[in-house]
C-alpha cells in the first residue's frame, strides 16, 4: 500500500486530491457526461487511483455514504420495444448491419470493460399500441376465454430484435403490458381495441390471456420479470388501442392472474398495478393493492403529478415494489435541460422515491417520432426515442446519455450476479444544493470477493437561473470513516470503488 499525498488532474476537469492512504479502497473507474457534450458517457481512467484516507475538512459539497442502511434492490433502466421501435431497429439492421450491432452493444452491453451502458429493462406491449402499424391482439379468436389459441402475433421483427438484444445482454428483464384486451372483449369507444372498456362478463377470465402471454414469452426463452394488467387504465383514446378499467376490475384480474401464475410455475413473475401517472399514486394503485394484496407492486408514468407521489404508494405498502416505466422526450427540446430533468426526476429522483427501475418510452424511432398507429392522436408534438434512426445511421439522444450513467452504477460485477442495491447517501456542505446523487452496493457471487460501491452524481450548478456560469463542485466522499475528494464538472458522473463485505 502506497502512503503519499498526490494531486493530479483528470481529463474533463475531474480533480482528485489524495490524502495519506490508510485503507485500500480506491477509485479507478469514472464515467462522465458533460453539459456541453465534450464528454458523452466517457470512461476516464486516472493514471493513479483516488484513495480513501484519513478524513480532513469537507469540500464545497460532502457526500456521506452509510452502507449499513440499505434500500431497494435495483432492476435496471431502459425503454419500450414497441412495434415501431423494433421496425426502426430492424430497418437499420437491413441497411447497415455493422451500425445496428454497434448500437445494440453501445446500449445493452453490460461488460465492465466495454463502452456499453448495459441497459437491462425492456417493456414489451402485449398486442398493438399507439406505435404499431395496425390493430391486433395476441388472441383475436372471439369467445376463446381460456386463451388456448393465443400466439405471439407481434410482427416477426419484434422477436428478432428482442433476440438480438438478449444476445448482447442475457440479463435483460422484460415487463409485459397490454394497451388493450382483444377487441371482442370490449365495449364502447371507437370499436375494436380503440378506446372503450372491458365487458364485465370477461373480467373473471381475462387473466387467462395475460397468463398465456407470459408463458408464451417465457417459452420463447426470455426472462419475464413483471406483467401489468393494463397500460394507463384511467385513459381512453378512440384513435389507438386503449382501455379504461376500474381499480376493482384491475384488482380482480390481477388477483386471478397472480394465483394462476403461482399455480403454473410462474410465481416469480411480478404482477404490477396501475401503469399510470403520478397524480393518482395515492388512490388507484392503493385501492388495487387493498383489494388484491397478493400483487407485487405498482408502476408509474410521468405525464401528470410529481415523482414524490410515489412515496404515497410506498408508505401504504412498504414491502411492495415500485417501478417507473414510461416517460417520453419531446422532439426539439433542449439537450442539457432534458438531462438535468431526467437525472433529477427519473434516474436519480424516482429511485430516491423507491423505484427499482426507470424506463423511457420508445427505444427507437425516426427523426420525426414515427412510425405511429394510423390515425392516432398520440404524441402530437413528436415523441423522441432513446435513439433516432435515419437511413443507415443512428443518433443516441439525451435520454440515452442520462440513463447510461445511472445504469452503469448498478450493473452486475459478475456474470449472472446481482444488480446494485441502493444504500443511504446524504448530501451536505455549502454547495450541497448543486448535487443530486444516489449510492449503491453491488454484491458478488463469491462471499470472499470485495463488493462494488458506486455513486451517480448530477452537478447542475450551471448558473442558468441568472445567465450562464457552469461551475465544478469540489466534493468530499465519506465512506466507512475514510474520505476521498473528487471535483465534479457540471454534468453527470458515475464512479465506483471496492471494499470488503460488511
Q: What is the mean pLDDT of residues 159-188?
A: 97
Q: Which domain range does residue 360 map to?
A: 75-408
For residue 316, the domain's CATH number is 3.20.20.80
386-89-120 Cα angle (round to 5): 55
Cell readout for 10 is 483528470
Alpha carbons 482 and 76: distance in angstroms, whole number: 29
- Partners of 323 in the β-ladder: 299
Do residues 47 and 139 share a domain? no
* In a domain? residue 101: yes
394 shares its domain with 469: no
Provide the CA 335 distance to its chain's centre, in angstroms.
Answer: 19
Same domain, 330 and 434: no
DSSP, collapsed to helix, strand or coil, labels residue 93 as: helix
Instruction: Give the pLDDT score at 19.
Output: 34
Give a yes or no: residue 456 inside a domain.
yes
413 in a domain, yes or no? no
Query: Which of 352, 381, 408 delimits the end of a domain?
Result: 408
pLDDT surpasses 80 at 290: yes
> Would you call 291 helix, strand, or coil by DSSP?
helix
Would residue 383 count as lying in a domain?
yes
Domain end call among 359, 385, 408: 408
Are 41 and 159 in the same domain?
A: no
439 and 299 together in one domain: no
The pLDDT of 270-289, averaged and rounded, is 98
Cis amide linkage into residue 371, ω under 30° from 0: yes
Judgement on whether residues 23 and 104 belong to the same structural domain of the protein: no
391 pLDDT higher than 50: yes
Check whether residue 118 and residue 28 sit in a common domain.
no
- Mean pLDDT of the 89-108 span: 98
Are both 158 and 214 inside the same structural domain?
Answer: yes
Cα torsion 408, 414, 416, 419: sign: negative
Tell me, rounded to whole angstroms, the distance of Cα 213 from its chain centroid: 22
Residue 477's domain is classified under what CATH number? 2.60.40.1180
- CA atoms 280, 283, 288, 293: torsion sign: positive
CA distance 206 to 229: 9
What pLDDT is recorded for position 113?
Answer: 80
pLDDT of 112:
83
Q: Is residue 1 part of a domain?
A: no
Rounded to whole angstroms, the Cα distance separating 89 from 125 reads 16
331: how many CB neighbours lie within 10 A of its CB?
Answer: 17
- pTM of this structure: 0.94
Q: Region of 467 please: left (phi>0), alpha (psi -120 to 50) or beta.
A: left
Query: Could you give phi then psi for residue 496, rounded to 5 degrees?
Result: -155, 165
Say whether both 167 and 214 belong to one domain.
yes
Q: Is 424 helix (H, G, I), strand (E, B) or coil?
A: strand
Residues 30 and 42 in one domain: yes
Identify the burial level of 113 via C-beta atoms within 10 angstroms of its C-beta, where 0-12 means exposed, 13-18 middle and 19 or more buried: exposed
Instruction: Report strand pairing: 173-177 vs 224-228.
Output: parallel
Taking residue 155's Cβ as centre, other Cβ atoms within 10 Å add up to 16
CA–CA separation, 181 and 34 (whole Å): 44
- Whether residue 119 sits in one domain with residue 36: no
Domains held by the chain: number: 2
pLDDT in tens, 177-235: 999 999 999 999 888 999 999 999 999 999 999 999 999 999 999 999 999 999 999 99
> Does 276 have pLDDT greater than 80?
yes
Q: Which residues contact 217 (CB under 8 A, 6 or more apart)?
A: 124, 152, 174, 176, 224
The pLDDT-based confidence of 68 (bands split at 50, 70, 90) is very high
pLDDT of residue 129: 98
Q: Return mean pLDDT, the chain.
A: 94
Q: In this structure, are 440 and 486 located in the same domain?
A: yes
Identify the domain boundary among 383, 408, 433. Answer: 408
Amino acid at each position: 500500500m502506497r502512503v503519499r499525498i498526490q494531486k493530479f488532474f483528470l481529463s474533463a476537469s475531474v480533480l482528485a486530491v489524495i490524502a495519506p492512504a490508510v485503507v485500500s479502497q480506491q477509485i479507478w473507474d469514472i464515467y462522465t457526461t458533460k453539459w456541453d457534450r465534450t464528454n458523452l458517457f466517457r470512461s476516464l481512467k486516472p493514471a493513479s487511483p483516488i484513495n480513501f484516507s484519513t478524513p480532513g475538512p469537507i469540500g464545497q459539497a460532502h457526500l456521506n455514504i452509510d452502507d449499513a442502511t440499505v434500500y431497494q434492490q435495483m432492476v435496471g433502466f431502459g425503454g419500450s420495444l414497441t412495434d415501431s421501435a423494433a421496425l426502426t431497429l430492424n430497418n437499420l439492421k437491413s441497411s447497415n448491419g455493422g451500425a445496428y450491432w454497434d448500437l445494440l452493444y453501445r446500449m445493452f452491453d453490460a461488460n465492465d470493460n466495454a463502452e456499453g451502458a448495459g441497459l437491462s429493462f425492456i417493456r414489451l406491449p402485449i398486442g398493438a399500441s399507439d406505435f404499431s402499424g395496425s390493430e391486433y391482439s395476441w388472441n383475436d379468436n372471439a369467445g376463446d376465454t381460456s386463451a388456448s389459441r393465443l400466439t405471439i402475433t407481434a410482427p416477426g421483427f419484434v422477436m428478432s430484435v428482442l433476440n438480438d438484444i438478449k444476445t448482447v445482454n442475457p440479463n435483460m428483464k422484460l415487463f409485459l403490458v397490454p394497451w388493450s384486451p382483444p377487441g371482442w372483449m370490449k365495449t364502447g369507444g371507437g370499436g375494436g381495441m380503440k378506446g372503450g372498456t372491458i365487458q364485465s362478463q370477461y373480467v373473471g377470465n381475462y387473466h387467462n390471456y395475460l397468463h398465456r402471454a407470459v408463458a408464451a414469452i417465457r417459452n420463447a426463452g426470455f426472462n419475464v420479470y413483471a406483467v401489468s394488467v393494463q397500460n394507463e387504465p384511467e385513459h381512453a383514446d378512440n384513435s389507438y388501442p386503449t382501455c379504461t378499467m376500474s381499480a376493482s376490475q384491475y384488482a380482480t384480474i390481477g388477483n386471478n392472474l397472480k394465483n394462476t401464475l403461482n399455480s403454473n410455475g410462474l410465481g416469480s413473475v411480478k404482477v404490477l398495478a396501475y401503469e399510470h401517472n403520478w397524480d393518482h399514486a395515492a388512490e388507484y394503485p392503493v385501492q388495487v393493492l387493498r383489494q388484491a394484496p397478493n400483487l407485487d407492486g405498482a408502476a408509474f408514468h410521468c405525464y401528470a403529478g410529481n415523482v414524490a407521489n410515489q412515496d404515497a404508494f410506498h408508505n401504504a405498502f412498504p414491502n411492495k415494489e415500485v417501478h417507473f416505466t414510461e416517460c417520453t422526450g419531446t422532439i426539439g427540446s433542449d439537450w442539457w435541460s432534458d438531462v438535468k430533468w431526467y437525472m433529477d426526476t427519473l434516474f436519480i429522483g424516482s429511485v430516491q422515491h423507491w423505484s427499482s427501475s426507470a424506463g423511457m418510452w420508445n427505444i427507437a424511432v425516426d427523426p420525426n417520432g414515427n412510425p405511429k398507429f394510423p390515425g392516432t392522436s398520440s404524441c402530437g408534438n413528436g415523441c423522441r426515442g432513446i435513439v433516432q434512426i435515419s437511413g443507415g445511421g443512428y443518433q443516441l439522444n439525451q435520454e440515452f446519455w442520462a440513463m447510461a450513467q445511472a445504469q452503469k452504477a448498478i450493473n452486475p460485477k459478475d456474470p449472472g450476479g446481482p444488480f446494485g442495491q441502493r444504500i443511504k447517501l446524504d448530501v451536505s456542505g455549502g454547495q450541497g444544493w448543486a448535487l443530486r446523487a444516489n449510492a449503491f452496493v453491488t454484491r458478488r457471487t463469491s462471499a470472499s470477493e470485495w463488493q462494488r460501491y458506486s455513486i451517480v452524481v448530477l452537478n447542475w450548478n450551471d448558473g442558468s437561473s441568472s445567465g450562464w456560469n457552469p461551475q465544478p463542485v469540489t466534493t468530499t466522499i465519506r465512506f466507512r470513516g475514510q474520505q476521498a475528494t473528487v471535483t465534479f464538472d457540471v454534468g453527470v458522473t458515475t464512479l465506483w470503488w471496492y471494499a470488503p463485505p460488511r
